[in-house]
Structure 1
Amino acid sequence: MAVQSKLAEIAFSCTCFEHNHPWTSSCAAGTAGMMLSAIPPALRTYCTVYLLALAMRGRIPSVKDLGRTVTGILQSTSFLALNASLYVFAVCQLRRLLGGFYFSTVGFIPTFLASMASLAAERPERRVPLALYVANVGSETLWNMLEARGLVKSIPNAQVLIMGLGVTALMYLYRTGLHKTVAKDATFKALDLILGKEEAGPLKTPAVTTSQSSRQRPLDFQSITGYLQLYDQIRSAKHPSCPHKTGCVKYASLGFLRPFLGGVGLSVGLKLLLNITKIIKFKMQWRKQIFNKGSLQLGLALGIFSFLFKSTSCGLRHGFGFDHSLFAIPASLIGSIGFFRFPNTTVALYVMWKALQLLYNWGVSEGKLPVVPHFTMIMYSFFTAILFHACILEATALRPSYYKFLMSISGTRVSRFNVKPFEVYGLKSQDQINSMIKKLGIDMSSPLPLFALDC
């Protein structure tokens, strides 16, 4: 107990100089150095984001469009650089105010405060996408932290379940027509591409349709004509409440083919884009990178989902004799079987958070849920605080790609913070940092971070 108490005292009495900026004794220099380090990678990131958004408009940009793009890049870059530098400033000021370090003030609380202040400098239309992005990464990180403590246990293929429930919520909103009113979002444009616009709500047919079956001559299976007539009836069969023009069989079959080809095309296109340097240098391993089963998985997932969704929807319309937006729920859940072909955690969490956001907007519009002031800023700040806390004290809980991003933004500072005084928490933080550096192959040969100012 005496040893534990001594270690806790060391953690508490650690100065911000010893922990946060051991290369300079000046808090101001530590803050400025972090800002200077963050500007170049932030500028590269937002140049890519804004120019890609400009290109996706599909038209030649006007002078006004280019001006807004440049302004947006500079404003978003300022926001990210400010977020990083205010973190260092907040750590130092909290340490001075409280007289020492607590577990929550090593990373979580200073990051929360810095994020709240910096997000006010970002464009309002960018705040929700940012909050959803960090919620995606942060919720995965939080789960990993809880799992490391033995408080939760991962379920095999849980990402498929999450994806299925999220898509089911989105499809219900889509079929009810709320995607055109209180739940407007670009995500539904993707559903238009995958499913076509036939299933989009609100329902174009009456809620109840009387089914009438005209008397037809019985089929004669003694001749080939009977079988041909049966095939023609199956192929052209369509319930009056079905929103599509062709027969249900053809509708469902094409429902597989189009998303499948689109998914394969998207997978191949992304791989080509990510390997453009290898292609230029003629070092591309085409068979290994492109011509493999992995290129088919996204297409199969989308195709199977679309086929099962449309088949189930048509079956329910035939069975009940009418169309209803509630049919989207069983149809989506059954269609989610296709996601076993592409069990992607990142995509699943994005869909989950997007569905929760739109359901919340719907609830607010109906007066069923309260409006939480500054909810977007609180959400962004909370999950960013989770990410920074993990990066400093529980690095292996963080998604490797995001740890690499934070290393770039901080000029490798996040791996150079002195965490040895905090070994009392039993997290083996330095070992986790060393493990992540080794896993990512990050060059740490330089003894100092980028822009290691000293005053």
Structure 2
Amino acid sequence: MPPRLSKFSISATCIDYVHPWTNSCVSATAGLGLHALQESLRIYTTVYLVTLLMKGRIPSKDDIRRTVLGVLQSTAFLSWSAFSYSIFLCLLRRISGNFNILTVSFLPSFLSNLAAIVIERPSRRTLLCLYVSNIATETVFRAGVWRGYFSVIPRGEVYIFAASIAMMLYYFRSEKNQQDSIFKILQFVIGPYERYNCSEIRREPHTLAPKSLQKRRITNKSNNQIFNACHSGLAVYKHVIERLKAWHKHLSCPHPFSCAHYVISGGTKLFGIGIGVQLAIKLVLQWKKIFGRPKIAKQIIFRRENLYLGMFIGGFTGIYRMLSCGLRRAFGKDSRYYAIPAGIAASVAFTMYPDNTIALYVMWKALQILWNSGVATGKLPEVKWFIIVLYCFSTAILFHAAIIEPQNLRSSYWKFLHNLSGGRIATMARKPLDEFGLGTSASLAEVLRKTQTTDQISYSF
């Protein structure tokens, strides 16, 4: 039988549930706020410094000033969210006289995030909303499966990704205003020649360069065999590429050179980039192990799973371009509607790197683009504060799950809450919440074991 809620309210006090380590609500709130302030400052200092370094230039005084102000503003947002969460927990209990299924976490979290998100920069609110909505969607699905309301669909993330990416690619080929960052990512993956009004792109010449420029004589031949072998290999490579470029290209295709070159060059380029990114992530995350045991670097590098990301994005690019060119040849013209079947077919490559986070992010981004397009054309109303309300609602779902049913929360988000609260999210007593009939304390014990976190922490206040 799926677990069912047996009670709506419980008679526990703040000391019984919220802060069993101290009798003072003020002391507990201050302790959580101070720790969250330190952790938030550490997180956002790292985030903003990495963003500053990724610009690839020496930062100016204005860059440094904006970075410092951004760190302080984002730190205030996140730390106030944690601080006010504790305030609303105890305050709502004092007002109502008890805790119920909504006031143990959901409602305090909604109010605290509503008070905090207005502090954060407006330009970051949409990004934060997409992030928490992504995880909240997965959490709600897990909760439904846990309750037996529905079952897991095999390869469900692939279907979500296919439908969502096809919609985004259609808008990529249709929308004139492409200011959203997701369109820059799509242009990087499938190329600039598939975007809206790609005829504005300055095309490269379709004819090959004169042979006098293609082949250069080497007057001084080296006796070095390695040099000669490399030079011969390079000459063969150039010859193959030149022959490939010279193949037939349909008149409706907007890209330079042949369709074969367009498909192969795009796929291999993204394949290489995917492998490079995957290796970089693995090496960065395991640098401590490599520093202690340099010999394991070879084992980390030469693993089959390091190919999966490259196979996904390289395969996606190659299949999408191949289908797009094939449809242009078949119908004798170009059309933005080709993005839909080409995007769905290319999503087969996602089976090489299936990831819930990617699939749900693409889904929410596609819904955002669809809504914005509807608002721009007057077909849908513009709802003010929608992003803020959705952010608060999604975050409230995550905090509710962390308290009532932590087994349905993504492990990485549980660890984030554990670090942000200094372990207080785990130390909050769950025994009183077992009265709801959802087995909360047993679920917490399982999550602590799985994530290697602990609830055995003592606090001075």
**TM-score greater than 0.5 by the shorter chain:** yes
1:296-315 mapped onto 2 (5 Å cutoff): 296-315=307-326
Indicate conservation of the 8 Å contact 1:194/1:258, yes or no: no
Paired AA for residue 386 in structure 1: I
Q: Flag the 1:323–1:34 CA change in 2: closer, same or farther, 3 A.
A: same
Paired AA for residue 392 in structure 2: S
1:172 pairs, out of 141, 149, 170, with 170
1:195 aligns with 2:195: no
After TM superposition, give the deviation of residue 8 of structure 1 in Å.
4.5
1:291 aligns with 2:302: yes
Q: Flag the 1:259–1:145 CA change in 2: closer, same or farther, 3 A.
A: same
1:354 aligns with 2:365: yes
1:58 aligns with 2:56: yes
After TM superposition, give the deviation of residue 21 of structure 1 in Å.
1.0
- What's the secondary structure of 1:79's corresponding residue? helix
1:56-455 mapped onto 2 (5 Å cutoff): 56-178=54-176, 181=177, 183-204=178-199, 236-283=247-294, 285-446=296-457, 448-449=458-459, 452-453=460-461
Q: TM-score, normalised by structure 1?
A: 0.87
Give the Cα–Cα distance (whole angstroms) in 1 for the partners of residues 338 and 276 of structure 2.
30
Paired AA for residue 74 in structure 2: S
Paired AA for residue 20 in structure 2: P
After TM superposition, give the deviation of residue 192 of structure 1 in Å.
2.3
Who is 2:33 aligned against? 35
Who is 2:14 aligned against? 16
After TM superposition, give the deviation of residue 290 of structure 1 in Å.
2.0
Give the Cα–Cα distance (whole angstroms) in 1 for the partners of residues 353 and 244 of structure 2.
35
Paired AA for residue 372 in structure 1: V
Give the Cα–Cα distance (whole angstroms) in 2 for the partners of residues 235 and 302 of structure 1.
26
Aligned alpha-carbon RMSD (Å)? 2.1
Give the Cα–Cα distance (whole angstroms) in 1 for the partners of residues 10 and 273 of structure 2.
56
1:191-224 Cα distance to aligned partner (Å, 9 max, x none)? 222222111112529xxxxxxxxxxxxxxxxxxx
Q: Which stretch shows the higher mean deviation, 300-309 or 419-428?
A: 419-428
Q: Flag the 1:98–1:47 CA change in 2: closer, same or farther, 3 A.
A: same
1:165-206 Cα distance to aligned partner (Å, 9 max, x none)? 22112211111144xx1x52222222222222111112529x
Q: Which stretch shows the higher mean deviation, 307-316 or 247-256?
A: 247-256
Give the Cα–Cα distance (whole angstroms) in 1 for the partners of residues 354 and 244 of structure 2.
38
Q: How many residues are paired up?
A: 417
Q: Which stretch shows the higher mean deviation, 12-21 or 274-283?
A: 274-283
Give the Cα–Cα distance (whole angstroms) in 1 for the partners of residues 302 and 244 of structure 2.
40
Indicate conservation of the 8 Å contact 1:275/1:284, yes or no: no
Indicate conservation of the 8 Å contact 2:426/2:454, yes or no: no
Who is 1:214 aligned against? none
After TM superposition, give the deviation of residue 424 of structure 1 in Å.
2.3
2:42 pairs, out of 33, 41, 44, with 44
Give the Cα–Cα distance (whole angstroms) in 2 for the partners of residues 146 and 48 of structure 1.
36
Indicate conservation of the 8 Å contact 1:37/1:411, yes or no: yes
Q: Which runs of 5+ in 1 are unaligned?
A: 206-231
Paired AA for residue 437 in structure 2: G
After TM superposition, give the deviation of residue 296 of structure 1 in Å.
0.5
Give the Cα–Cα distance (whole angstroms) in 2 for the partners of residues 282 and 258 of structure 1.
32
1:249-298 Cα distance to aligned partner (Å, 9 max, x none)? 11111121111011111111111221222333335622432211111001
Indicate conservation of the 8 Å contact 2:246/2:258, yes or no: yes
Q: Kindly, what percent of the aligned residue pairs are identical? A: 40
Give the Cα–Cα distance (whole angstroms) in 1 for the partners of residues 327 and 35 of structure 2.
58
After TM superposition, give the deviation of residue 234 of structure 1 in Å.
11
Q: TM-score, normalised by structure 2?
A: 0.86
